[in-house]
Amino acid sequence: MAAWLDAGHPVESGIGSLLSRPTDTYFESDHYDDFQVHLREHHAYLNWEIALIDHIVGDPAVRYKVR
């Protein structure tokens, strides 16, 4: 990034130019008025993280061993 900036190339910030809606964002618990909604979202995130192992096992791009 530093070399890019040093070369005078442009950079962007924020989510204005994304091709699709982000699905990997983190939400603070106080953003939820309903605790059950927060709990469901938290569990969905943890299940997503756990499922990552199944997605990377056998992937030739993964350069470390999954035990």
Can you tell me the mean pLDDT for 30-53?
81
Give the model's pLDDT for residue 26.
63
50 found inside a domain: yes
Mean pLDDT of 37-58: 85
- Nearest alpha-carbon partner for 49 in 60, 37, 59, 41: 41
Residue 6 inside a domain? The answer is no
On whether residue 7 sits in a domain, the answer given is: no
Nearest to 48 by CA among 23, 20, 22: 23
Q: Domain count of the chain? A: 1
Give residue-wise pLDDT tens across range 3-21: 999 999 999 887 777 787 7
Q: Output the six-digit token pair for 7.
A: 């070369």
pTM for the model stands at 0.40
Number of H helices, E strands in the chain: 2, 0
Whether 59 is in a domain gets the answer yes
Domain that residue 46 falls in: 23-67
Buried b (16+ CB within 10 A) or exposed e, 19-39: eeeeeeeeeeeeeeeeeeebe
Split at pLDDT 50, 70, 90, the class of 32 is: low
Would you say residue 5 lies in a domain?
Answer: no
Is 56 part of any domain? yes
